[in-house]
Amino acid sequence: MKRVWLLIATNAAVAGCVSTPEVVSMGKDSYMIMEVGANKQTAVVGQANKYCAALGKVIVVRRMDTKSDRKFQSTSLIFSCVLETDPEYRRPNLKQDPTTVIEDQRM
């Protein structure tokens, strides 16, 4: 009987960890979505696409960041939902931001 309860508790705990990431408004037509876990880029883009489609719009990716340390990885996506006729809706020019920024403070 103890094993059955342990199995039920384990399944409930694992099921509780699986959730749909929340879309948060970041301003006019701009949103953010974040997911914790390995290889979540596809999940956040898919969720953002669904969100925009529900509004009758299409997604424009503004920025995607993936950060990881020894314990976990997180992916955040900042995006906009626009009409297909919007001039901003075009083929994305995705590139990775530099990881090092050099600031010249000479006057």
pLDDT of residue 19: 61
Give, as one character, the DSSP assignment of residue 22: P
Task: Output DSSP code: residue 37.
Answer: S
Note the pLDDT of residue 80: 94
Residue with tokens 């059955």: 4
pLDDT of residue 12: 42
Query: CA dist 22 to 8, 36, 53, 85, Å?
Result: 27, 12, 15, 27
102: Cα separation from own chain's centroid: 28
pTM for the full predicted model:
0.66
pLDDT per residue of the chain (107 residues) written in tens, 0 to 9: 544 444 444 444 444 455 667 898 888 888 999 888 877 888 899 999 999 999 999 999 988 888 888 778 888 999 999 999 998 888 877 777 677 778 888 87
Q: Are 84 and 74 in contact (CB under 8 A)?
A: no
Residues in a beta bridge with 80? 30, 60
By C-alpha distance, which of 89, 83, 96 is closest to 41?
96
